[in-house]
Amino acid sequence: MRTDLRVRFVILVAILYSTFLVSRVCSQSVTNSNNTGYPPNAVIQGTEIESVQITNGNLHIEIPIYTSKGRAGLDVTYKFVLDNKGWTFSTQCSQGVCTDHPNTDVNSNVVLTLRDPLSTHLNSKLTSLTCGGVYMYDLKSNVIFTETNGTKHHFLPDPVRSAPTIASCDGTFSTYAQTLYSDDGSG
């Protein structure tokens, strides 16, 4: 029993050590290969501290630091969170030679990260559409909400425009919407 705990501890330390060597760069999409936390489509095996997402091999570690009971089940929790699948590859080609570069996701937990109850993030890409040099409206794409445990939710429609009428030069097939919905069915 104590040997199993020591082995788990050594493995955990090795994973944490190797994770600190990864650089942080931005990526732009949520796919099953880089889905982290506890997404709705995940098959998860493990304990309350560490778990593995069977569908993509993500090792998710949550180490609680401090918890205080809150009203109506809204507890205040501080924890360290780590995910080993918060990265993707970007391919760059130059003069007929292509290379892949690893990139970490925005707000990912590839490095052991302290998370508090307010550590949620809403990210998106914003571009302005112009026709003949005249500003028409803004296009927002890749809207992603990241929970405190690292779970990411992509929202639809994508892209969404800020004006109800579509410009004749808009080739993005954008949609006007005031309400966005997560494409994983979580809300």
Q: What confidence tens digit (pLDDT) does each residue in 66-82 have?
A: 999 888 878 888 999 98
Whole domain around residue 174: which residue ranges?
A: 2-182
In a domain, 167, yes or no: yes
Tell me: pLDDT of 4 over 80.
no
In a domain, 124, yes or no: yes
Any idea which residue has 């927002």 for tokens?
A: 140
In what helix (H) or strand (E) does residue 175 lie, and over which residues does it extend?
strand 175-176
Confidence label for 26 from pLDDT (cuts 50, 70 and 90): very low
Residue 32: CB partners within 8 Å, gap ≥ 6?
41, 55, 56
User: What pTM was estimated for this model as a whole?
Assistant: 0.66
Q: What is the pLDDT of residue 12?
A: 55
In a domain, 60, yes or no: yes
173 or 82, which is more confident? 82
In a domain, 135, yes or no: yes
In a domain, 128, yes or no: yes
In a domain, 187, yes or no: no
How many structural domains compose the chain? 1
Structure tokens at 106: 């925005």
In a domain, 160, yes or no: yes
- E-strand ranges in 39-173 read 44-46, 50-53, 58-68, 76-83, 87-94, 97-104, 113-115, 121-131, 134-146, 152-156, 160-161
The pair phi, psi for residue 46, each rounded to 5°, is 155, -155
In a domain, 68, yes or no: yes
> Exposed (0-12), middle (13-18) or buried (19+): which is 144, by Cβ within 10 Å?
buried
- 92: β partners: 99
CB 84 within 8 A of CB 59: yes
CA pair distance 187, 185, nearest whole angstrom: 6
Any idea which residue has 């709705």 for tokens?
A: 40
CA pair distance 85, 151, nearest whole angstrom: 11
2 or 24, which is more confident? 2
CB 82 within 8 A of CB 116: no
